[in-house]
Structure 1
Amino acid sequence: MAIVSVEQVTKVFARDEGEPTVALKDINLDIEEKEFICIVGASGCGKTTLLRIIAGLETATEGTIRLNGTPIEGTDTDRGMVFQEYSLFPWKSVIDNIAFGLEMRGIPKTERREKAEKYLKIIRMEQFRDAYPHELSGGMRQRVAIARALANEPKVLLMDEPFGALDAQTRNVMQRELLEIWEETQKTVIFVTHSVDEAVFLADRIVILSPRPGKIEEVITVDLPRMRDRTAQQFAEMRKHILKSMEDSASIR
C-alpha cells in the first residue's frame, strides 16, 4: 500500500468577482514509503496547493488524500512541513527551536531535549545549539527548520521550495545534505521546486504538473545513481526531457 494516495483531487478557489479559479484538476498519485518525490511545473500550476492539501492546510474541493489508507483531515504531526521562509522563532535558541513542536505536544522536557539533540546531531550543528537564528546563515537556518520538522518524527516530510531563497552554491550544498538526512532518517519526502536541475538531482520520481489547472502531465522515474553528477550526459538528457515536457504542456494551452 502507498503511504500517500492522492485520489481524484480537484481544488477550486472561489473569487469575489468573476469565475472561480481551478487550481488542480483530477490529480491521482500514489507515493511509496521512503520515496523522494519532486513536483515541478510552471508558476501557478498548483504545486504548493497540492502540498498544502496533503499537509491538511487546505481542503480539496473534490477527491481524497489518504495517509496509510486513512483520509487526511486537517494537520497532524504525522506530516512535517518545511517552508521556503525559515519560520524560526528569533527569540529561541537552535535547540529550543528544534524542540518547539515537541513542547507544544506536551512531551516531557528530558525526552524532548533528547530528541532535539538527536536531530541537532543529524544536521551536524551541535556547536550551534545555543545560537539564535540571527547568528546563522540562510543554509544553517533551513537545516534547523528541517530538524524541527523531523523532531516530531512524521511519516512524511513536505517541503515547499525550501532552498529557493539560498544562493546557488549554498543551495547545492543543502541538496546534498538533505539527501544525507533522507538516507539516514528513511522518511518519505514530497518536495516542491521550480528548479528542474534540483528535481533531477534529488528525486526518485518527478511529477510534472501542467499550467493551470494543474494536471499530472507525466511522472518520470529518475534511474540515476546518487550522488548524481550534474555534468553527466544522462543528467543533462533527463533535464532536457523534463523542460521539453513542460514547454509542450504550456504550448497546447
Structure 2
Amino acid sequence: MKNYSDGRQELWYKMGRVSVKNVSRVFSKKEDESGTEALHNISFDVQDGEFICLLGPSGCGKTTLLRIAAGLETLTSGEITLNGVPITGPDPKRGMVFQQYSLFPWRTVIDNITFGLEMQGIKKSEARKQVEKYLELVGLGQFKNSYPHELSGGMQQRAAIARALANEPEVLLMDEPFGALDAQTRNVLQDELLKIWEQKHVTFLFVTHSVDEAVFLSDRIVVMTSRPGRVKEIVSVELPRPRSRTSPEVNRLRDHVLKLLEEERFSK
C-alpha cells in the first residue's frame, strides 16, 4: 500500500513501466504471397503511472499493438517489456478490458469479477471477499448479485473494469472500452476512470478512435499513421486535471491532433 502526503492510500502499488522497442507485425499469407504489414518499427516508452492513449486511423494497428502488449498476439520483430521483462504471453500483471464487455452471462457480477482470482487458485469464498472493494470502487456494490443481462451497457463495462482491477495489475490495457456506449454514459465513465487512475496510480494504455476522449484522458497521445502503423507524433497533454472539455487549451490541442489525422487521410 502506498501513502500520499494528503492522506490518500492505495489498495496496491506496483511499478508499471512499459517499453515498446522497434515493434513490427506482419500477418503472413500463403508462401507465394507477401504478408500484410500492420505495424512498422514502433518505439515509445510509458512511464510508471502514466495514462497513454493510442490514436490513429482505422486499420492502423492500434488494437494489434495492444494485444501484443497483452500477450494475446505475437510480434514479428522488436520487443515489448514490462518493468524490463519481455512480454511473451498473457499474465495477470497486465489487465485487459475490451470494447465488448466479455462477461460470463451465467455468472453474477461478483462472480464475474472473481473469475481471474479463481483461475489463480484462490478459493471462491476468499476471492469474493477480496473483490468487495473493487465493487464499491466502480459503484456496483448494490448490484453484485445481478446478472449481466440485468445491467446497462455502462454498468457491464464497470464490471469488466473491476474484473481487470481485481488482479491488481501493473498496467491496464483498454481497447476502446467506451466505444459502444452513448455519449453521456461515455463521458461519465471517462470521469470515473480518471478517478480510479488517480487513486490506483496504475499505468494505462488506452486505445481510442476519439480525439476528444484522448485529449480529455491522457498524459500523452501516441498518434499513429495509416497502415502500416508507425508513430507519427507523440503529443504531450500538459493540461491540469480536471479538464474542461471545451476550454480554449483543449480546443487548440484537439485541433492539432485532428490535423495530424487529416494528414494521414490525404496521404493515402
**Shorter-chain TM-score category?**
over 0.9
Match of 1:42?
57
Q: Does 1:222 align with 2:221?
A: no
Mind listing any 5+ residue stretches in structure 1 that lack a counterpart?
none
Give yes or no for the alignment of 1:10 onto 2:36.
Answer: no
The amino acid that maps onto 1:163 is F
Matches within 5 A, 1:240-251: 240-251=255-266
CA distance in 2 between counterparts of 1:250 and 1:56 reads 30
Correspondence 1:92 to 2:107: yes
Pairwise CA distance, 1:2: 7.3
What SS class does the counterpart of residue 177 from structure 1 fall into? helix
TM-score normalised to structure 2 length: 0.92
Note if contact 2:215-2:254 (Cα within 8 Å) is conserved in structure 1.
yes
Letter aligned with residue 19 of structure 2: S
Q: Which moved more, 1:1-10 or 1:18-27?
A: 1-10
The equivalent residue for 2:12 is none
**1:192-211 equivalences in 2 (<5 Å):** 192-211=207-226
**Equivalent residues in 2 for 1:1-253 (5 A)?**
3-16=17-30, 18-253=33-268
Q: 3-state DSSP class of the match of 1:12?
A: strand
How many residues are paired up?
Answer: 253
Across the aligned residues of Structure 1 and Structure 2, the Cα RMSD in angstroms comes to 1.3
Give the Å deviation of 1:247.
Answer: 1.3
TM-score (norm 1): 0.97
CA distance in 1, matches of 2:204, 2:246: 25
Identity of aligned residues (%): 61
* 4+ long deviations beyond 6 Å: none
Distance 1:47 1:242 in 2: 16
Asked whether the 8 Å contact 1:210–1:250 carries over to 2, the reply is: no
Cα distance in 1, alignment partners of residues 182 and 29 from structure 2: 36
Contact 1:40 1:199 in 2 (8 A): yes
* Structure 2 unaligned blocks of 5 or more: 1-14
Distance (Å, rounded) in 2 between the aligned partners of 1:231 and 1:31: 27
Q: Is the 8 A contact 2:222 2:231 kept in 1?
A: yes
1:211: Cα distance to partner?
0.1
- 2:7 aligned partner: none
- Displacement of 1:115: 1.8
TM-superposed CA distance for 1:19, in Å, is 2.7
Contact kept in structure 2, 1:217 and 1:249, CA below 8 Å: no
Q: Distance in 1 between matches of 2:247 and 2:66?
A: 31
**3-state SS of 1:237 partner:** helix
Aligned 8 A contact 2:16 2:202 in 1 = no
- 3-state DSSP of counterpart to 1:38: strand
How far apart are 1:200 and its partner, in Å?
0.4
Partner amino acid, structure 1, of 2:65 = L
Q: Match for 1:34: what amino acid?
A: G
Alpha-carbon distance in 2 for matches of 1:186, 1:46:
27
CA distance in 1, matches of 2:130, 2:258: 41
Where 1:149 maps in the other structure, the secondary structure is: helix
For 1:92 and 1:233, the matched residues in 2 are separated by 46
